[in-house]
Structure 1
Amino acid sequence: MANTHCVIFKYTGKYGHFLKAEANASAPSYPFPPRTALLGLLGAVMGFEKDTCQVKLETAKIAVSGGAELTHWHTANLRKDPPGLLPRKIKKNDNGSSKNQRNTQIIQEWLIRPDFTVYAMLPNPFHDDLCRRLQNRNWHFSPCLGLSEMAADLFFVDCVEVEHLPMGKHHVETLARRDQVSLSIEELLDENMSAKSIRMPCAVTCDRQFSHATYLYPIGGSSLPVKTEYAVKAGGHILQWL
């Protein structure tokens, strides 16, 4: 029998960085974790081997809401060359570095105090394992917010039945796929809100070939008024799968 429940949990930390696919010398971040990053997070919680979560969780339904308080551009050292060989004789004023070693500086956009709510509807038999691990705080690998150096914390909220909503106007509280909704411009204007769009990865193959989708999210409000047939209700929240 197919799973009809979704797990709701908080995904927070001090810093986050989700590298944009088109980044080159600088390193801008997506404002939200893409679906591919969330698949990796779920795989880390359940202990999947690297690059297997996209296969095991291919049919998983995931939604995300929330955001970061602000962003900050941080200059980081990227070490290009390996350390030099140790000398045969060590002097007391040696600093342990090699003259041949070079560092390259890059600029990274960090999300400051990111606080996301994730909704995950996993195929059987993974749903029960995810619920148990989140409730007991018993993840297999340490969760992170994009980079392994940016530790994340996960807080179980609830496990609820998912209700599919009929075609109509809904206030979606999560990211909404642009190709599956029609914006209610009148309601946006009445509530003095606006919407932004962003293109992010939504799927990835075993050989690291990414597929992308365009998403909408509200500016100046907590939900996005749209007309859609793809909205669902979970735990009193209206959301749309990434």
Structure 2
Amino acid sequence: MKKLLYVEIYGRMAHFRKVFTNSTSLSYYFPPRTTVMGIVAAVSGKERDSYYKELDALDYAIEALTPLKKLVFGENYLDTDSVNVKKFRGVGNRVPITKEFIVASKGDFLGYGLYMTYNKEIEEAFKSPKYPLALGTAEMLGWIEKVSVEECEEVKDLSGKSVYGALPASFSVEAGTVITLEYGMPRRFEEGRMSGKLHNYFFPSDGSAVKVKSGEAEGVRCGNKHLVFL
């Protein structure tokens, strides 16, 4: 058995910027493992760059608690390639920027269920956060609805199982489930805060389970739910 901390996080909208975007601000459907570590560090009151090794030792799994969709907006930014008064006043050409935001496709608020290796200090931190919880960017604040401790069974062979949340794109899955492919997601911080090797995941954006034909990974069964660690 594996003891996990379960946290339900809700918010109005989210933005988890893809690491390979430059002038555009595209978003993943769910927070990468590095972002989850940042959320844990924030509620625990840890300083920037101080927690990578410590929190990397924990396992994390995540699922959508509400159906999700992406909204795309266009904005015109000031062109500051050359610095002068006219440019700062917006006189002349501006730079068009595309932004993606994650919102609930039904209801007013989106939600994520986060599972992680149990830690008593982190449990207390989620119950009384040191810093506000943000869903990606600082202005997209979220809140915690539930914090509980789950006793889960460790599972490696997910073949024939219905899996909730993110799972490796190397899995073979049955047709019929609405899933998105999120590619190029970081798992850990390398030296110099670099993202290191990027990974690809399937994610059911409607919050349903995905029937796996074949696939092996570090996972768990919590109650009647199978999940895979990021």
TM-score tier by shorter-chain length is 0.7 to 0.9
- In structure 2, relative to structure 1, the CA distance for the partners of 1:50 and 1:159 (3 Å cut) is same
RMSD: 2.7
Which of the residues 163, 179, 182 maps onto 1:198?
182
Is 2:115 the counterpart of 1:119?
yes
The aligned runs of 1:93-242 (5 Å cut-off) are 101-102=88-89, 106-112=97-103, 113-122=109-118, 127-135=119-127, 138-165=128-155, 167=157, 168-179=159-170, 181=171, 183-185=172-174, 188=175, 192-199=176-183, 200-210=185-195, 211-218=197-204, 222-226=208-212, 227-230=214-217, 231-242=219-230
SS across alignment from 1:38:
helix
Change (3 A) 1:55 1:216: same
Greater gyration radius: 1
Stretches of structure 2 lacking an aligned partner (at least 5 in a row) = 104-108
On the 8 A contact 1:198/1:215 being kept in 2, the answer is yes
Q: Is the 8 A contact 1:9 1:118 kept in 2?
A: yes
Identify the residue that residue 93 of structure 1 maps to in structure 2. none
Report the more deviating stretch, 157-166 or 142-151.
Answer: 157-166
What is the match of residue 60 of structure 1?
58
Partner of 1:70: 69
Q: CA deviation at 1:140?
A: 0.9
Counterpart pick for 1:48 among 38, 46, 49: 46
Letter in 2 for 1:170: K
1:71 corresponds to which letter in structure 2?
K
- Identity in percent: 22
Distance 1:47 1:29, change over 3 A: same
Q: Supply the distance in 2 between the matched residues of 1:149 and 1:26 (Cα, whole angstroms).
A: 18
Q: What letter matches 2:123 in structure 1? A: C
Post-superposition shift, 1:64? 0.7
Q: Which moved more, 1:111-120 or 1:100-109?
A: 100-109
TM-score (norm. length: structure 2): 0.80
Count residues with an aligned counterpart. 212
- Mapped to 1, the partners of 2:78 and 2:138 lie a distance apart of 16
3-state SS of paired residue (1:131): helix
Q: Is the 8 A contact 2:164 2:227 kept in 1?
A: yes
Structure 2 distance, partners of 1:63, 1:151, is 21
Q: 5+ unaligned residues in a row in structure 1: which ranges?
A: 82-97
